[in-house]
Amino acid sequence: MDHLWRICVVMSLVITVYGNGKRPNIVFILTDDQDVTMNGMTPLVNTVSLIGKQGITFNNMFVSSPLCCPSRSSIFTGNYVHNHKTLNNSISGGCSNKNWQSGPERSTFATYLKGMGYSTFFAGKYLNQYGTKLAGGVSHIPPGWDEWNGLVKNSKYYNYTLSVNGKAEQHGDDYHHDYLTDLINNRSHEFLEKQSESTPPFFVMVSTPACHAPFDSAPQYVQNFTKNAAPRGPSFNKAGKDKHWLIRHAPNPMAKSSVTILDDVFRKRWRTLLSVDDMVKNIVDTLDSKKLLDSTYIIFTSDNGYHLGQFSLPMDKRQLYEFDIRVPLLVRGPKIKAGTVTDHIAVNIDIMPTIVHLAGDPAPQNVDGISLVPILIPNITESDEDKRDCLTKNKEENTVEDCPNTDPHTSPAGSRDFLIEHSGEWLPHGDFGCKNTDLCADCFPNCVCEDSKNNTYSCLRSIHPGVSSMYCEISDSESFQEYYDLNKDPHQLTNTIKSVKPPDLAAMHKLLVLLQLCKGDNCRQLIPPHTRH
């Protein structure tokens, strides 16, 4: 009886939202290292026009870890780093290793949707260590995917290997056959051309290398943006004397050669995104020509942000500041009002439950994130479903259980506490030929180190009406702390931890500990507004 009741509730939701009773199609577009604080959406004219202006744009989208493999693992599973345990980009750090494959990888949005009858397609970068010998080689196909085109290892545009349904496919440096963003574009197009209103619902994930290093743009775009330079915002080339060890050790001012390099990287990153923009247009045009556009959700986001010169760090991510943790999020699809802009908070752990919920099933209750569907489609909320479920069950079982009438989504717009966490990496024998880099990693250019073993931290990011703050605890020998009131100091220029009142500091520490330990429902219970300040 319980099983039949659940089916009826799910079908009621599907019919209410999607009209014809068929589950919607979903396309998920994931870029790599794309910021928003340095105008990273500027090159994506088609993307803004065809997704953002035809749907909803989130002003406050964050990642729970500013590094590729941990963030991607959170996107796939809906869980914080401390629960999926992918700590960094290495095998030893949990990236696509046996523990990942025997655990979290078996419960992703792909496995959920496959179980719901979806036809699934993947093309592009998966996880940084995917396809390596220690990660099971190219024969390993993550569960849930019908058609698999997975890039072996990290982002590249030429001279790479793909796992195509478990078999190695080598690619060289010919633009027309090998440029990875275009290959992803072409293969997703081929998959979509096979779909129709009579075929099963489909889920397509395209995961581009852009705008990650090595920043190879398509040849037709190499002359674009020649006069642009990285934004010179308030934190550009500014010393971080009141910040944690790694920031304090970045030479200030930056060497002129570093500035030249980062400006060149800025232009190259924008150029790589032009091919992503072409892909977005092709996907939308194909869906439109197949008469599938109106029944398809399209989600666009990135795995982490980026910095170029902020606090004298030439180029990378991995830091706790806004430039590395803020990313774009645009969604269009059935019942989403075109041209909507929202201040509601979204985190990468919300992507997985949102996709499952959009597909017509209740958002999973064993993940840390929440569904964004009540924001995307305000007249359909999880509390509506929960209440309907509860009332139906009461009627069938002749019980009088209290039924819910509120849930975290009814909190004020722009109101949430969430966790940012990172485990620093290091190389025991230096990096890029640099000297004096013990405990450091990614030291380039001019041997400026972008990560270190003691660049390990947990942060409480809080946004409520009138409140926007970040409190961080760094796991180093100094037990260093940082605090920023982003309403007063949006660029996080001054660490004001010494001015925080002891009761407020104690309250923030307590909530941070709860977030560091939370799992599933315990994480979601921490979402409604708090009165610490």
Task: Estimate the crossing angle of helix 351-358 against helix 68-77, to 10 degrees.
Answer: 30
> Does the active-site annotation cover 68?
yes
Contact 394, 380 (CB under 8 A): no
Tokens representing 399? 């019980």
First to last CA, the chain: 47
Contact 94, 127 (CB under 8 A): no
State the burial class of residue 115 (Cβ atoms within 10 Å of its Cβ: 0-12, 13-18, 19+). exposed
Q: Please give the distance of CA 490 from its chain centroid, rounded to a whole number.
A: 22
Measured from the Cβ of residue 73, the count of other Cβ atoms closer than 10 Å reads: 28
* H or E element in which residue 532 lies: none
68, 211, 443, 523: the catalytic one is 68
Cα gap 74→367, rounded to integer Å: 10
What is the length of the chain?
533
Secondary structure of 500-531 in the HEC alphabet? Answer: CCHHHHHHHHHHHHHHHHCCCHHHHCCCCCCC
Cα gap 78→371, rounded to integer Å: 10
Reduced to 3 states (helix: H, G, I; strand: E, B; else coil), residue 47 is helix
* H or E element in which residue 415 lies: none
Which residue do the tokens 């869906």 mark?
287
Tokens representing 84? 């999926």
The DSSP code sequence of 193-262 is HT--TTSPPEEEEEE--TTSTT----GGGTTTTTT------TTBT---TTS-HHHHTS-SSPPHHHHHHH
Cα gap 193→191, rounded to integer Å: 5
Cα gap 333→293, rounded to integer Å: 8
Cα angle for residues 298, 304, 310 (degrees, 5° grid)? 135
> Which candidate, 414, 423, 453, 421, places its Cα nearest to that of 437?
453
Cα gap 396→326, rounded to integer Å: 46
State the burial class of residue 137 (Cβ atoms within 10 Å of its Cβ: 0-12, 13-18, 19+). middle
Catalytic residues: 68
